Structure 1
Amino acid sequence: MTAYALAHLHPQPTLHDDVFTYMERIQATMDPFGGRFLVHGSLPEVIEGPVDGGYVLIEFPDIDKARAWYKSDAYQAILAMRTDHMEGTAVLLHGVPDGYDAATTAEHLRNAQAGA
């Protein structure tokens, strides 16, 4: 099942040169794990709630590949180039299968809660 790496980043007004180097090198760290950018540095169109910063969304074939990419020597070698100069949060997310229906999930959660 597809998985995602999502980062919400808060860049400084002037980006450090290391951040540019990180950006130049990140794709090569993702390629062996089937990673590809879906969103990169996009400023959101806010429709609810407060938001600051930009977002990065990377798709991987599955959660194991996403974890392996993040832990890889190649990615760890460049990670500090970003984290030393940009605050933010990064998470790995499981995707949902084809045909996913939120109503079915709600039904299961409702039944589990009622039985608790």
Structure 2
Amino acid sequence: MPAYWIAHVTVTDPEQYKGYQALAPQAFAKFGGKFLARGGASETHEGAKFDRHVLIEFPDLAAARACYVSPEYQAAKAQRESAAEVMITIFDGL
């Protein structure tokens, strides 16, 4: 069963955020992550407002979790620290 990451992001330091953008796709690819939505127009009707929204599909929940805790993703995440406000949720699909 597929699993998903949904990330809500507001970039606060675009220059520093480039480090995350350079590293994160390698982690997603390693664990079979496929972007279904990234950026684009959005509307917030309830809850906190973020500027960007990303939806990534993984083969299963184990792969989605493994990606997040992987050294590759953690290195990317370190580049993102203090460059963005982020909320990430990992969940099972149908």
- TM-score surpassing 0.5? yes
Which of 69, 75, 78 aligns to 1:77? It is 75
Q: Give the TM-score normalised by the residue count of structure 1.
A: 0.70
Which residue pairs with 1:4 in the alignment? Answer: 4
Are 1:42 and 1:56, in contact at CA under 8 Å, matched by a contact in 2?
A: no
Identity of aligned residues (%): 34
Shift of 1:82: 1.7
Q: Give the TM-score normalised by the residue count of structure 2.
A: 0.85
Distance 2:64 2:47 in 1: 28
Q: Deviations over 1:49-84 (max 9, x none)?
A: 466222011110000000000010111111021232
Computed over aligned residues only, the root mean square deviation of the Cα atoms, in angstroms, reads 1.7
What are the equivalent positions in structure 2 for 1:83-94 lying under 5 Å apart? 83-94=81-92
* Structure 2: runs of 5+ lacking an equivalent: none
Q: Which has the higher contact order (CA 8 A, sep 6+)?
A: 2
* Structure 1: runs of 5+ lacking an equivalent: 97-116
Look up the SS of the partner of 1:42 in the other structure: coil
Distance 2:11 2:16 in 1: 12
Shift of 1:45: 3.9
Distance 2:73 2:59 in 1: 17
* Greater than 4 Å deviation, 4+ residue runs: none
Distance 2:10 2:32 in 1: 26
The structure with more helix, counted as a fraction of residues: 1
